[in-house]
């Protein structure tokens, strides 16, 4: 059973949508409240390596993609979550699952204004400490 089938089998109730974009690239959508459980399963059970997370500001809300890499086959599984509340976006932090996510969550927090609940050290990483609180440089300004 390959990793894609394992994900589809074990996370049946949680996956909203899933597709294969190209040979080694898979995308799955899950609910934002399920992300900690999903990440724990991928990291601990399937032994995937966390590559990085990407936040995208879309008209529907802020989308976060967690990219997991399976190094035996070179596949990347991107887990998409959508945070619909753009005024006050919130999601659970993954720092309890693996510490490597700490910096990228701080970065998304300062560039997109997403609060990560349970993050131990949510402060500025890249920008100046006096950066205005309501200004998030990577948010689109057309809405």
Measuring CA to CA, which residue among 84, 125, 82 is closest to residue 101? 125
Which residues does 94 contact at the CB level (< 8 Å), separation at least 6? 35, 36, 39, 66, 101, 105
Instruction: Check residue 100 and report its DSSP letter.
Output: G
- The rounded distance, in Å, linking the Cα atoms of 130 and 109 is 15
- The site for another protein, by CB under 8 A, has a size of 37
Among 15, 46, 65, 82, binds another protein (CB under 8 A): 65
- The rounded distance, in Å, linking the Cα atoms of 97 and 76 is 19
Query: Which CB atom, from 33 or from 103, has the smaller least distance to another protein?
Result: 103
Positions 5 through 64 that interact with another protein (CB under 8 A) = 21-22, 24-25, 27, 49-52, 54, 56-57
**109 near another protein (CB under 8 A):** no
Among 10, 86, 98, 115, binds another protein (CB under 8 A): 98
End-to-end C-alpha distance for the chain, whole angstroms: 45
Query: Which CB atom, from 72 or from 133, has the smaller least distance to another protein?
Result: 72
Q: In whole angstroms, how close is the CB of 35 to another protein at the nearest point?
A: 17
- The rounded distance, in Å, linking the Cα atoms of 110 and 46 is 31
Using CB under 8 A, list all residues that contact another protein: 21-22, 24-25, 27, 49-52, 54, 56-57, 65, 67, 69, 71-76, 78, 98-100, 102-104, 111, 124-128, 131, 137-138
């Amino acid at each position: 059973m390959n990793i894609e089938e394992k994900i589809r089998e074990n996370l049946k109730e949680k996956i909203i949508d899933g597709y294969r974009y190209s040979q080694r690239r898979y995308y799955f959508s899950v609910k934002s409240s399920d992300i900690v459980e999903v990440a724990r399963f991928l990291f601990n059970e399937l032994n995937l390596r966390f590559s990085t997370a990407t936040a995208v500001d879309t008209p529907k809300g802020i989308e976060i993609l967690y990219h997991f890499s399976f190094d035996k086959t070179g596949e990347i599984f991107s887990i998409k979550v959508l945070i619909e509340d753009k005024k006050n976006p919130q999601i659970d932090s993954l720092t309890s699952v693996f510490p490597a996510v700490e910096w990228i969550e701080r970065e998304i927090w300062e560039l997109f204004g997403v609060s990560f609940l349970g993050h131990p050290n949510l402060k500025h990483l890249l920008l100046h400490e006096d950066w205005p609180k309501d200004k998030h440089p990577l948010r689109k300004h057309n809405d």
